[in-house]
C-alpha cells in the first residue's frame, strides 16, 4: 500500500492513524528468505511534527516461519514491530547529499517495504521448536525428537576403545 504524505507535510494540523493490511509474503534477509504465515493489521500513526517534518509511528505484528536451529523443523515466530520515524520533506533530499528512507519515493510511503524492512530487523536470533529440542542425528540425519534412530553416536575415549576391541575379540571367540 502506498500512502501519500503530501498533506501531512503541508498541513500542520494533519494527523491520522491509518490501518494497513500488509501485503508481505516473505522476509528476505539476503542469504535466505522466510515465509510470512500471517500479519495482523498494522497501525500507522502519521502526524505533522510542526517542524517541517512528519512523524510516523508504526505498530503491528507478523508471524514468520523460521527453521529450528537444531532440528530445522518449521517454527512460527511472532515478530513485533514498534518503530518511529521522523521524515524530512522530500525536497530536502534534492538539495542535500542525504538519502531518504528506502520506503520513501518522493512523497509516497511504501508501507509494505517499510514493514518488510522492520521485520528483517526484528527476527529472533535464536529459534528453537522447543527448549529441549534433541536436534538431528549426526549419523543418519533423522529428527531425534521423533524417536531414537539407534545410531551409535557415542564417541568413546580412545583408551577405552582399545579395551573394547579386546572385549569384542573375546566375545567372537565364545
64 binds Zn ion per the rule CB under 5 A: no
Answer whether 18's CB lies under 8 Å from 54's CB.
Answer: no
**Following DSSP, what letter does each residue of 38-84 receive, concatenated?**
EE-PEEEEEEE-SSSEEEEEEEEEEEEEEE-TTT--EEEEEEEEEEE
Restricting to residues 129-158, name those near Zn ion by CB under 5 A. 129, 133, 137, 139-140, 142, 149, 151
Restricting to residues 101-130, name those near Zn ion by CB under 5 A. 129
* One residue of 5, 71, 79, 104 binding Zn ion per CB under 5 A: 71
Supply the minimum distance, in Å, between the C-beta of residue 144 and Zn ion: 8
Supply the minimum distance, in Å, between the C-beta of residue 29 and Zn ion: 20
Q: How far apart are CA 123 and CA 31, in angstroms?
A: 14
* One residue of 8, 60, 70, 107 binding Zn ion per CB under 5 A: 70
Supply the minimum distance, in Å, between the C-beta of residue 127 and Zn ion: 8
1 binds Zn ion per the rule CB under 5 A: no
| Cell numbers given for 97 | 547529499
Q: Which residues pair with 59 in a beta bridge?
A: 43, 82
| Cell numbers given for 116 | 518488510
76 binds Zn ion per the rule CB under 5 A: no
What DSSP element (H or E) covers 87? strand 74-88
Q: How far apart are CA 92 and CA 9, in angstroms?
A: 12
# chain residues binding Zn ion, by CB under 5 A = 11
Residue with smaller CB distance to Zn ion, 20 or 71: 71
Helix (H, G, I), strand (E, B) or coil at 45: strand
Residues engaged in binding Zn ion (CB under 5 A): 68, 70-71, 129, 133, 137, 139-140, 142, 149, 151
Amino acid at each position: 500500500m502506498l500512502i501519500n504524505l503530501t498533506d501531512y507535510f503541508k498541513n500542520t494540523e494533519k494527523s491520522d492513524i491509518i490501518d494497513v493490511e500488509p501485503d508481505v509474503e516473505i522476509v528476505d534477509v539476503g542469504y535466505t528468505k522466510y515465509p510470512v504465515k500471517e500479519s495482523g493489521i498494522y497501525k500507522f500513526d502519521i502526524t505533522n511534527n510542526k517542524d517541517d517534518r512528519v512523524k510516523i509511528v508504526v505498530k503491528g505484528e507478523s508471524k514468520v516461519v523460521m527453521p529450528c536451529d537444531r532440528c530445522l523443523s518449521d517454527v512460527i515466530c511472532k515478530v513485533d514491530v514498534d518503530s518511529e520515524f521522523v521524515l524530512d520533506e522530500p525536497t530536502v533530499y534534492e538539495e542535500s547529499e542525504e538519502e531518504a528512507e528506502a520506503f520513501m519515493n518522493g512523497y509516497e510511503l511504501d508501507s509494505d517495504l517499510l514493514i518488510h524492512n522492520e521485520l528483517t530487523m526484528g527476527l529472533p536470533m535464536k529459534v528453537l521448536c522447543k527448549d529441549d529440542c534433541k536436534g538431528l542425528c549426526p549419523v543418519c540425519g533423522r529428527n531425534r525428537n521423533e524417536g531414537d534412530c539407534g545410531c551409535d553416536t557415542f564417541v568413546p575415549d580412545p583408551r577405552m576403545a582399545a579395551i573394547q576391541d579386546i572385549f569384542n575379540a573375546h566375545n567372537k571367540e565364545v
